[in-house]
Amino acid sequence: MAGRLSAAPRPPDYTGGSLVNLAAELEHRLAGTSPAPPLHPELASLIPAAASYVLVIFDGLGDGQLGHPAARPLAAARQAALDTVFPTTTTVALASLATGRPPSQHGLLGYQLWMPEAGVVVNTLKWRSLWGDPVELDYEQVLPAPNLWERLAAAGVEPITVQPAGFAGTPLSRVLYRGCRFEPAYTMRELADAAAELAATPGRLVLAYVPHVDVAAHMDGQDSAEYAEALSAAAAVWERIVARLPSGAALIGCADHGHVDFPAADQVRIARPDHDGRTFYGDQRAMFVRGDGAVLATRLPARWEPLAGIVDWWGPPPRHPEFTARAPDGVLLASPGRILLHRFSDDGQIGHHGGLSAAERRVPLLVGPAVRPEPAG
């Protein structure tokens, strides 16, 4: 049953080709500086100069997913592809956007994260233990200060996020959007209109978040009618913002990770006896292990990567003060076509991510058509 990856995994390019660098590029343009390097010049040249920027994050929309017929409006806007972060998962990527820093520096290292200060592995989407108990933390202080929003505000730039209204006040929103104006939207039409209207004022960064693709890919898979409908809804948001984008504003689209379908036959559950003396967390495609993971790789379809050899997958130093305490001893990187489930893992989903395959790691860079400023007078 043991397996090996066909090739050495490629970590994200944090020097200028990743989601972190996209955040840094926008910060550099609006505020004049950024803690991370901006985009490589050839990528930066694809984004027009503007007085305000709208950044739309399509959760779960990998670059390879733009070939679906329902994604044609998004594919038409694609200019390039970027890497997301490691692991390729929502909370880690959104924390990188919120801070403008790689995971090594912001400290949110995985979807499921061992946090010694809480004494449990924390589900960082819901901020609960793996068995559902609330985790009491000072959510606003989970990410380091100043974050991206606070640095922009200090430079005279107004950061605004437009989100589905149900996310207002949740622990995750409190973690991610400290210092950022939160505008709730009750429909996707309302979200698109608000994002465009807010960008009419110069000196703003407007982040719009669209969750549909990720939800449908997880629950129904990429061959489903639900997934096609979700792609259509995402494309409609993009087209509506394009149609209403004010002069002087630029529109950019990206994603936090891609998706791969794994039917039940491809899902491998770690045996209960193998949980003794070990703590499992991370993602199903990149299973973090505190304890001996090397022996497990001899009987699981996975490659064991000790921490010392992969520490830079989370990004360069300086590392977050809690990096060492939260990091695993190593990662079981699931073989192509397989996922790993520990005893608390959800086995009811089809779509997964977290690993470093191109389908999971590569996300599209979308750029809306340039809107020229109206002539004076």
Half-sphere exposure of 294 (CA within 13 A, CB side): 3
Burial of residue 103 (CB within 10 Å: 0-12, 13-18, 19+) is buried
Tokens at 31, concatenated: 């505020």
Q: Is 131 helix (H, G, I), strand (E, B) or coil?
A: coil
For residues 161 and 199, the answer to whether their CB atoms sit within 8 Å is: no
Comparing C-alpha atoms, which of 116, 87, 114 is closest to residue 102?
87
Q: How confident is the model at residue 4 (pLDDT cuts 50, 70, 90)?
A: very low
Q: Is residue 162 predicted with pLDDT exceeding 50? A: yes
Which pLDDT belongs to residue 346? 87
**What are the two backbone dihedrals, phi and then psi, of residue 214, each rounded to the nearest 5 degrees?**
-60, -45
**What are the two backbone dihedrals, phi and then psi, of residue 152, each rounded to the nearest 5 degrees?**
-60, -45
pLDDT (average), residues 303-312? 98
For residues 303 and 335, the answer to whether their CB atoms sit within 8 Å is: yes
- Per the DSSP assignment, residues forming a β-bridge with 183 are 162
Q: Rounded to the nearest 5 degrees, what angle is found at the Cα of 187, between the Cα atoms of 184 and 189?
A: 110
Give pLDDT tens digits for 345-368: 988 999 999 999 999 999 999 999
The structure tokens 């709208």 sit at 54
Strands 286-290 and 302-306: unpaired
Q: How confident is the model at residue 372 (pLDDT cuts 50, 70, 90)?
A: low
- Helix (H), strand (E) at residue 280: strand 279-282
pLDDT (average), residues 206-210? 98
Percentage of the chain surpassing pLDDT 70? 96
Give pLDDT tens digits for 240-284: 999 999 999 999 999 999 999 999 999 999 999 999 999 999 999
- Per the DSSP assignment, residues forming a β-bridge with 227 are none
The C-alpha atoms of residue 276 and residue 28 are separated, in whole angstroms, by 48
Between helices 225-244 and 188-198, what is the axis angle to 10°? Answer: 30
pLDDT (average), residues 119-127? 97
Which pLDDT belongs to residue 142? 98
Q: Which residues of 122-131 are buried (b: 16+ CB within 10 A; e: fewer)?
A: bbbeebebbe
The C-alpha atoms of residue 340 and residue 278 are separated, in whole angstroms, by 15
Q: Is residue 3 predicted with pLDDT exceeding 80? A: no
Q: Is residue 7 predicted with pLDDT exceeding 80? A: no
DSSP 3: B
Q: How confident is the model at residue 1 (pLDDT cuts 50, 70, 90)?
A: very low
Q: Is residue 156 predicted with pLDDT exceeding 50? A: yes
For residues 332 and 302, the answer to whether their CB atoms sit within 8 Å is: yes
Sorted by sequence, the CB contacts under 8 Å of residue 362 that are 6+ apart come out as: 62, 63, 64, 81, 82, 83, 84, 258
CB atoms within 10 A of CB 22: 27
The structure tokens 């919120």 sit at 98
pLDDT (average), residues 175-187? 98
Which pLDDT belongs to residue 8? 79
- Sign of the CA dihedral 198, 200, 204, 210? positive
**Per this entry, what is the length of the chain?**
377
Which pLDDT belongs to residue 371? 60
The C-alpha atoms of residue 329 and residue 271 are separated, in whole angstroms, by 19
Give pLDDT tens digits for 17-27: 999 999 999 99
Query: Which amino acid belongs to residue 265?
Result: A
Q: Is residue 108 predicted with pLDDT exceeding 70? A: yes
| Omega cis (within 30) before 87 | yes
Which pLDDT belongs to residue 347? 87
pLDDT (average), residues 98-114? 98
- Helix (H), strand (E) at residue 33: none
Distances (CA, A) of 335 to 39, 121, 329, 330, 374: 31, 24, 19, 15, 54
Sorted by sequence, the CB contacts under 8 Å of residue 8 that are 6+ apart come out as: none
CB atoms within 10 A of CB 169: 10
Q: Terminal CA-to-CA distance of the chain, rounded, Å?
A: 73
